[in-house]
Chain A
Amino acid sequence: MSDTAPAFPGVRLHVVTGKGGTGKTTVAAALAMALARRGQRVLLAEVEGRQGIAQTFDVPPLSTQEVRVLADGSGGEVWGLAVDAKAALLEYLQSFYKLGRAGAVLEKVGAIDFATTIAPGVRDVLLIGKVYEAVGRTTGSKRGRGDLAWDAVVLDAPPTGRIGRFLNVNAEVADVAKVGPIRSQADSITRMLRSPRTAVHAVTLLEEMPVQETVDAIAEIEGLGMPVGAIVVNQVREPLLGEAGLARVAKAAESPRSRGALAKEVTAALGTAGVRTTAALVDGLLAEATDHADRVALEAEQREEIAAAGRPAYDLPWLPDGVEGGGLRVLADHLLEQGMV
């Protein structure tokens, strides 16, 4: 662990989004673990019913109860929660209206399903509402008294294509709930999301479409007046050809003469290394190198796009075996070393 000062010291809610397939859940989990390794008590919440947290930490499926999924030697902990809109609504009604048996009646006539599924925006208000509750929760008998229950909350949020709509709960309920508790709940949530206590991070790969969606999502989130945090570049692979190698491969792709010279050199060197060489083998190796050089060039272009977004960027290495067998810890360490937390 390094002594780098954390980049987001005042942030208590980390919202993690990203295009599908970029490893958003893994990054959210690694971020939670990194915070825990700083000794923090962290709640990691998911809202899409995917059980991604359980899969990432290799624990039984999460319920609507918070459960500990990791204890760090530093005293830090990660707890997991699968936020469910129905449970959140019933809990909400219970705590604000002391409903008693009415909750069961609402469920029976289909009102809960109606409110959580059909009523536009209400579902998202309930989902973020639960996260909002966790961020502000204190250990005292009343809200605001005692210590904060969580040092930080990490939200594995919906993907970039839906993140703006998800976070913009205010606008979502504006049309249908002009007054009433849902409205004021939406207002409080929006205040929190726009405050410096929140940071929305975007996960991307070094590929065109994920980077484009990340750039779009950042603009959208900024447009909502919410603080954009970092861009986390996931699955970064070290270039396997050095600068010199890349240059030679590029030249060989353009000039037959350079290619001939390179092929000759490789054939000879392979011979000294005890490899029986054929023309097909050398051609194959050069073809692989050309593909690799193409990818490196493409990644460099994407790097420029990311840099142009003007947000702090953090790299996570590509893990051949995924997060199994300590991979998550490797990712958490990278975030710590680069000073994201």
Chain B
Amino acid sequence: MGASRTNGSRTNGSRTDGSRTDGSRTNGGFDVDALLADDTVGIVVCCGSGGVGKTTTAAALGVRAAEAGRKVVVLTIDPARRLAQSLGLTVLDNTPRAVTGLDLGQGGRLDAMMLDMKRTFDEVVEAHATPEKAAQILANPFYVAVSSSFAGTQEYMAMEKLGQLRAQADREGTWDLVIVDTPPSRSALDFLDAPKRLGSFLDGRFIRLLAAPAKAGGRAYLKVFSAGVTLATQTLSKVLGGQMLIDVQTFVAALDTMFGGFRERADQTYALLKQHGTAFVVVAAPERDALREASYFLDRLGEEGMPLAGVVVNRIQRVAAPGLTAARAAAAEESLDDAGAGESTTADLLRLHAEVARTAARHAAVVKRFRTGHPGTPVAEVPAASRDIHDVEGLRTIGDALAAG
């Protein structure tokens, strides 16, 4: 962890893609150590499409930062208990737990936690409502459904928890770096969009109108509104069943008295992501779809002025015998074959090497194309491991690879 920043400013420079100009090397490498050593960075968000190794990257960054002296908490949202596997933990819930097996000689620490979406939502309700009101909300079937199964609640609660951890870190000094792994969304952009969507719908016009009669004391109140709304509620009653509307009305009215509006809350967490203390790490794999998803995300971060730290491309095939090209290996294997030694171990090794070299060339080509498409964006390439990563030692190796760029 030798690298340290000489320029502590958080400016994004003039780049349209929002990448930091001050944290990257001139060769387009992603200086991970500089990012982790930068004490003005308090939040690192790892995002990317499913199956690219987001959780592993988040955990590896956590281990590396902690061993370099940062006080880190890693938040994972993934229900597949992947971080638990990666960190060798058996229990992960809404409580951050210390990760063992680290070298903390530099005074750092590492805690990890997995988001319990429903409990987080419950806690928000309990923190903001009177006990009676909270009990009423928690028992509402509409609330139960929204808090446990609505697609988007997960993202929303991830943001909420991120905000809470950040606030706790500032208040108590427990951590100085929060690393968050984003939910396994349909697309990487969902993480940014879903909270706003949920916030604005809960705060939206129709739901306000639905809530109105509960507040005014009767359904009759709706009639003075407009024929359109009456028609809409009647139709929805027919399709969804009348009880549902009543439940919605109680739910919305109850929430309404509690928050200063969901939209405002969502906007606040969104604003947190735009702050200079936040850094996005976009994770991808050397495949067309994953890199396309990463591109969308980069464009979006640029549009929103959100601070991009860099891109991590995992699982890059490396060649251990670079002196021999795929073509020459194939030719040599053929000549062994001609000489009647096609079944020999050497012929096997040559066949294998030709395949490895071809894969490596293909990976290099797609990454090069990606770099060309995103000039100035720092990129780190992480070699493929032959075994899956599920211990601190493995995460350390990934961290070394990340730092080597």
Contact = CB atoms under 8 A, between A and B. Distances in A.
Q: What does DSSP make chain B's interface, helix, strand, loop or mixed?
A: helix
A153 to B, nearest CB: 21
Contacts of B358: 320
Given A180-B241, A266-B345, A269-B344, A165 B320 contact: no
Interface in B316-354: 319-324, 328, 331-333, 335-336, 339, 341, 343-353
Interface in A218-247: 240-242, 244-245
Interface residues of B, number: 85
B76 to A, nearest CB: 13
A19 B319 CA distance: 28
B348 A272 contact: no
A19 B50 contact: yes
A308 interface: no
B348 A118 contact: no
Contacts of B388: 207-209, 298
Contact of B204 (A20, A114, A269): A114
B145 A121 contact: yes
A92 to B, nearest CB: 8
Nearest to A158: B186
A95 interface: no
Contacts of A208: 388, 390
B386 interface: yes
A115 interface: yes
Contacts of A310: none
A87 to B, nearest CB: 15
A120 B229 CA distance: 21
Given A208-B388, A273-B335, A281 B146 contact: no
Nearest to A52: B289
Contacts of A102: 231, 235
Contact of B332 (A207, A275, A283): A275
Contacts of B331: 274
A269 B336 contact: yes
A115 B49 contact: no
A275 B241 contact: no
A161 B142 CA distance: 23
B238 interface: yes
B319 to A, nearest CB: 7
Given A110-B205, A288-B356, A270 B320 contact: no
Contacts of B229: 109
B359 interface: yes
Interface stretch (A5-13, A36-44, A60-68, A171-179): A171-179
Interface in A195-225: 207-210, 212-213, 216
A175 B49 CA distance: 32
A4 interface: no
A1 interface: no
Contact of A179 (B204, B241, B319): B241
A123 interface: yes
A126 to B, nearest CB: 10
B247 A176 contact: yes
Interface in A234-271: 240-242, 244-245, 248-249, 262, 265-266, 269-270
Interface string A56-97: 000000000000000000000000000000000000010001
B197 A117 contact: yes
Contacts of A242: 343, 348
B51 interface: yes
A213 B80 contact: yes
A252 to B, nearest CB: 9
A241 B247 contact: no
A250 to B, nearest CB: 12
Contacts of A249: 345
A270 B205 contact: no
Given A161-B184, A176-B240, A180-B241, A272 B201 contact: no
A285 B149 contact: no
Interface in B169-213: 184, 186-187, 197-198, 201-202, 204-207, 209
B49 A21 contact: yes
A161 B146 contact: no
A183 B239 CA distance: 9
Interface in A104-143: 105-106, 108-111, 113-115, 117-123
7 contacts: A106-B232, A109-B209, A176-B240, A240-B355, A241-B345, A242-B343, A285-B349
5 A-B pairs closest in CB distance: A21-B51, A20-B50, A284-B321, A180-B241, A120-B145
Given A109-B232, A115-B236, A272-B341, 14 more contacts: A117-B201, A118-B150, A118-B202, A119-B248, A175-B141, A242-B348, A270-B346, A280-B323, A281-B321, A284-B320, A285-B350, A288-B320, A292-B352, A292-B356
Interface of A: 19-22, 48-50, 55, 93, 97, 99, 102, 105-106, 108-111, 113-115, 117-123, 158-159, 161-162, 165, 172, 175-183, 207-210, 212-213, 216, 240-242, 244-245, 248-249, 262, 265-266, 269-270, 272-275, 278, 280-292, 294-295, 298, 320, 322
